[in-house]
């Protein structure tokens, strides 16, 4: 390691020690929060970053609509095969769930509604697993920083009571503890809050598209067969 790395690590260590006893809880809150945040990202997969989420259902509707015309003319299932092929090729959480829905609707239309209700609930819970912990950690970090502010100021006033305010060096430790703990709590809470908001928005978009996709599949495959 270079001298720059040693200086950086030593600076982090000094900052951690200067922050007082609340630095460990703040650090744990950040580690736990980011762990569950990135776990949710990994569960959602590449759909978290892809910009074509809104186009998946439109493409599937177009494939099924083309297959519906073929079915009326030649009794083929070209539309279902085309939709399944395109969804498998796209991949991702949304593509996988819609692909399974198309296959279930094509094989057993009578049980499609019950299947989708249960499957939708499980998928949404799967995406939201652990997200509430991220919110808790994002809320706890600044409160811990505020606690560090209070303990630092208490230490400062104790020094003033014992030695007076003539020597600012003696008061520096308490003031440093108050400021560093507050700063650390905000540095943990701010990115967690922003990234959690982005995660919630993406989960809601995926949920809406799954519901819309299920409605499209029901209209093109289940109700047509019933009639």
pLDDT tens by residue, 43-75: 998 888 888 888 899 999 888 887 544 444 443
Average pLDDT, the chain: 85
pLDDT at 1 over 70: no
Rounded to whole angstroms, how far apart are CA atoms 182 and 148? Answer: 7
Among the residues of the chain, which ranges form H helices? 3-18, 23-44, 53-74, 78-90, 92-107, 112-128, 131-163, 168-217, 223-226
The residue assigned the tokens 């598209």 is 209
Q: Which pLDDT score, from 0 to 100, does residue 13 have?
A: 82
pTM of the predicted structure, to 2 decimals = 0.82
Q: Is 146 left (phi over 0), alpha (psi -120 to 50) or beta?
A: alpha
The number of angstroms, rounded, from the C-alpha of 65 to the middle of its chain's C-alpha atoms is: 34
Rounded to whole angstroms, how far apart are CA atoms 211 and 134? Answer: 26
| Highest-pLDDT range among 44-53, 84-93, 201-210 | 201-210
Q: What is the mean pLDDT of residues 91-118?
A: 87
Q: For residue 74, give both structure tokens.
A: 């030649």
Q: Which pLDDT score, from 0 to 100, does residue 137 have?
A: 96
pLDDT tens-digit profile of 105-134? 888 888 888 888 888 889 999 999 999 999
Q: Which pLDDT score, from 0 to 100, does residue 182 have?
A: 92
Residues sharing a CB contact under 8 Å with residue 70, sequence separation 6 or more, in sequence order: 76, 78, 79
């Amino acid at each position: 390691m270079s001298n720059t790395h040693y200086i950086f690590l030593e600076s982090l260590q000094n900052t951690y020690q200067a922050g007082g006893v609340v630095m460990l809880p703040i650090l744990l809150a950040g580690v736990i929060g980011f762990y569950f945040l990135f776990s949710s990202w990994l569960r959602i997969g590449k759909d978290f970053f892809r910009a074509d989420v809104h186009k998946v259902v439109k493409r599937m509707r177009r494939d099924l609509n083309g297959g519906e015309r073929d079915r009326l003319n030649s009794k083929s299932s070209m539309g279902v095969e085309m939709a399944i092929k395109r969804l498998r090729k796209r991949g991702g959480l949304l593509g996988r769930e819609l692909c399974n829905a198309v296959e279930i609707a094509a094989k057993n239309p009578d049980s499609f509604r019950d299947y989708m209700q249960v499957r939708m609930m499980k998928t949404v819970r799967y995406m939201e697993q652990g997200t509430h912990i991220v919110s808790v950690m994002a809320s706890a970090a600044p409160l811990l920083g505020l606690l560090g502010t209070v303990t630092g100021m208490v230490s400062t006033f104790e020094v003033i009571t014992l030695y007076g305010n003539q020597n600012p060096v003696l008061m520096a430790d308490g003031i440093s503890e108050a400021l560093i703990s507050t700063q650390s709590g905000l540095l943990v809470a701010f990115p967690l809050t922003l990234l959690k908001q982005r995660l919630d928005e993406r989960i809601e978009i995926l949920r809406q598209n799954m519901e819309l996709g299920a409605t499209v599949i029901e209209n093109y495959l289940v109700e047509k067969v019933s009639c």
